[in-house]
A and B are shown apart, each in its own frame.
Chain A
Amino acid sequence: MNARFVIQRIGFVLLSFIAVVVVLPILVIVAIIVVRGIGAINWEFLTTMPHDGMKAGGILPAIVGTIVLTFGTAIAAIPVGVGGAIYLSEYARDTLFTRAIRLAIVNLAGIPSVVYGLFGLGLFVLFLHFGTSILAGSLTLAIMTLPVIISTSEEALRAVPTEYRTVIASLGGTRWQGVRYVVLPQALPGIITGIILGLLRAAGETAPILFTVSAFFLPRLPHSLFDRTMALPYHLYVISTQVPGMPQEIQYGTALVLLMLVLSMNLVATLIRGHFRRRRPW
């Protein structure tokens, strides 16, 4: 057989092997969490307060806390993020100023999450007197999420052919009308992907909420935006490291709930994206 076909064969086998190596850890992690945690999952676990020093009862406040925080993050981050992306892609000219903005966004994406946590503590909790609260936590998570939303949204907007903008101008449409009626609808699937990616990261983060919102143990649901709350990632950290004699099943059960919450958000995003993507020409 010709040598180049042998090389092709070897290359193919090698790449398949690498693909398996990449996917395997994810499957193993999910499998372990499901197997060890599924026993803990029942109606009571999902809907009641923890008791006996969190060693028994449910994790309702943590679930609610994470959902509330994710919503808060979305409300704060989506308008600013998508708006910023529209500005950068549709309006901003290439100046020193916009280059500085882009540089800042790239750098924001690289900052460790614990630094966001400290920043949120300094700005929202202390300086603005929001206290340790859902408001402070949501805003901190939102700032952390912004770079992801802005850069993916900008990319999605730029992928819409320039031609459409030209046509709109030639029809006597304003730039905003072009954005509103043609460019934005076309870019929506990509923008939604960016938003979900950002929110998923926010939902799973521990460090940014550590100092800004999280309660170690708060066996009730939050009352207002200025209330603190438990949240799944931090709760998981607490019951895994801070509480001696914690039943392992509760730890894995909590991890499983967090995983399912994140995966189901991901699934919803994929469905929305698929729904919008049907009619894209390129």
Chain B
Amino acid sequence: MSKFVVQNLNFYYGKFRALSGITLTILDRQITALIGPSGCGKSTFLRCLNRMNDTINGTRVEGKVLLEGQNIYDRRVNVVELRRRVGMVFQRPNPFPQSVYDNVAFGPRVLGMARSKSQLDDIVEESLRGAGLWEEVKDHLHQDALSFSLGQQQRLCIARAIAVKPEVILMDEPCSALDPIETLQVEELMQTLKANYCIVIVTHSMQQAARVSEWTGFFWLGELVEFDSTAKIFTNPSHPLTENYITGRAG
């Protein structure tokens, strides 16, 4: 089932055209990886999917991004609610300088999701379990989030993101600040999460894309050069640019 259908998307920073003519379909409950050299537009594209680019002055979008059939750039769309449905995990682990509990409870609190303390406790526990962090932090829920390791902080950010019950999780190089073991933990977590969420990940590591994703898109200079199943992209790419990039001859 398709989650996002992107049709002929152009994106501009002022006069600079950062994305041109992007068309692709992102499937639900699968992991889609976006690869390409720095500055190729993959992060910009990711941020188009929850309209995070809106916060930057002087940006402009053309084309359509359909989330379950509705164009998210439509005038009538409530951006705040859109971002609740399409969550995001960032490059650097960035928990708030508050307790583990308060971090996870932040979203449910501002959205008024819990009617009682015990209901909020349940959401927090469920989210931390979902992020594979519960066993490690259940006795330290009121400890400062910043006192944990970076890998734990990043999984805490994932718990914080899923606490608001999104449908999609966008991950912008979620492992670039983590060591190999922490990276593996996050990748395993992604495999669990895809049972319930649509996941889109931007990564600089081609091995990571090959390991975790079903679908891979290769961006080059603001264009989507090739989009296909991960197996196809990494074994038999149809475009020479893709082949050069994944074999390390370019990019």
Please say whether chains A and B are actual partners in one complex.
yes
- Does B235 have its Cβ within 8 Å of any Cβ on chain A? no
Q: Does A173 lie within 8 Å of B96, measured CB to CB? A: no
Alpha-carbon gap, A163 to B110, bound state (A): 18
Chain A residues, CB < 8 A from B161 = 170-171
B90 — which chain A residues lie within 8 A by C-beta? 163, 166-167, 170
Contact residues on A (Cβ < 8 Å of other chain), bracket: 20 to 34
A177-B110 Cα distance, complex, nearest whole Å: 7
| Complex Cα spacing A173 to B81, Å | 9
Q: Taking the complex as formed, is B84 at the interface, i.e. its CB lies under 8 A from any CB of chain A? A: yes
In the bound complex, residues from chain B placing their C-beta under 8 Å from that of A161 are 94
Taken together as a complex, chains A and B put the C-alpha atoms of A174 and B106 apart, in Å, by 12
- The reply on B97 being an interface residue by CB < 8 A is yes
Q: In the complex, how many residue pairs between chain A and chain B have their CB atoms under 8 Å apart?
A: 70
Interface string of A121-165 (1 = CB under 8 A from B): 000000000000000000000000000000000000000010111
Interface residues of B in 53-77 (CB under 8 A from A): 55, 57
Q: Is the CB of A171 within 8 A of B83?
A: yes
- The reply to whether A170 and B110 contact each other, CB–CB distance below 8 Å, is no
Contact between A172 and B80 (Cβ–Cβ < 8 Å)? yes
- Contact partner of B94 (CB less than 8 A), chosen from A163, A169, A174, is A163
A182 within 8 A of B: yes
| Chain B interface residue count, Cβ-Cβ cutoff 8 angstroms | 28
Is B111 a contact of A170 with CB atoms below 8 Å?
Answer: no
Report the bound CA distance from A181 to B111 in whole Å.
Answer: 13
B57 touches A172 (CB 8 A): no
Specify which of A93, A165, A181 lies most central, judged by the most chain B CB atoms within 10 Å of its CB.
A181
Contacts of A168 in B (CB 8 A): 106, 110
Closest to B103 in A: A167
Q: B157 contacts which chain A residues (CB < 8 A)?
A: 167
In B89-133, the 8 Å CB interface with A consists of 90, 92, 94, 96-98, 106-107, 109-111
Contact A172 B111 (CB under 8 A): yes
- Min CB distance A253 to B, Å, is 46
Nearest to B108 among chain A residues (CB) is: A171
Contact assessment for A171 and B146 in the assembled complex, using a CB-CB cutoff below 8 Å: no
Out of B55, B92, B98, B106, name the residue touching A169 (CB < 8 Å): B55
B160 in contact (CB, < 8 A): yes
Give Cα A161 to B97, complex, Å.
11
**Complex interface: chain A residues within 8 A of B96 (CB):** 164, 167, 182
Contacting residue for B52 out of A164, A166, A172, CB 8 A: A166
For the complex formed, measure the closest distance between the CB of B52 and the CB atoms of chain A, giving whole angstroms.
Answer: 7
Q: In the complex, what's the smallest C-beta–C-beta distance from A110 to chain B, in angstroms?
A: 30
B97 engages A170 (CB within 8 Å): no
Q: In whole angstroms, what is the CA distance A174 to B92 when docked? A: 22
Closest to A173 in B: B110
A93-B57, A279-B144 known; A172 vs B110 contact (CB < 8 Å) = yes
A281 contacts chain B at the CB level, 8 A cutoff: yes
- Whether B110 lies near A181 (C-beta < 8 A) is yes
What distance in Å separates the Cβ of A168 from its nearest Cβ neighbour in chain B?
A: 8
Bound form: Cα–Cα A93–B160 in Å: 29
Q: Which residues of B contact A (CB under 8 A)?
A: 50, 52, 55, 57, 80-81, 83-85, 87-88, 90, 92, 94, 96-98, 106-107, 109-111, 144, 146, 157, 160-161, 164
Leading 7 A-B pairs by shortest Cβ distance: A172-B84, A170-B88, A171-B107, A173-B110, A177-B110, A281-B97, A172-B83
28 A-B interface contacts by CB (under 8 A):
A163-B90, A163-B92, A166-B52, A167-B90, A167-B94, A167-B96, A168-B106, A168-B110, A169-B52, A170-B50, A170-B83, A170-B90, A170-B161, A171-B84, A171-B107, A171-B110, A171-B160, A171-B164, A172-B80, A172-B110, A173-B106, A173-B110, A174-B110, A177-B110, A181-B106, A186-B97, A279-B144, A281-B146
Known pairs A174-B80, A186-B97, A281-B97 / 15 extra A-B pairs, C-beta < 8 Å: A163-B90, A163-B94, A166-B52, A167-B88, A167-B157, A169-B80, A170-B88, A171-B160, A172-B80, A172-B83, A172-B107, A172-B110, A172-B164, A279-B144, A281-B146
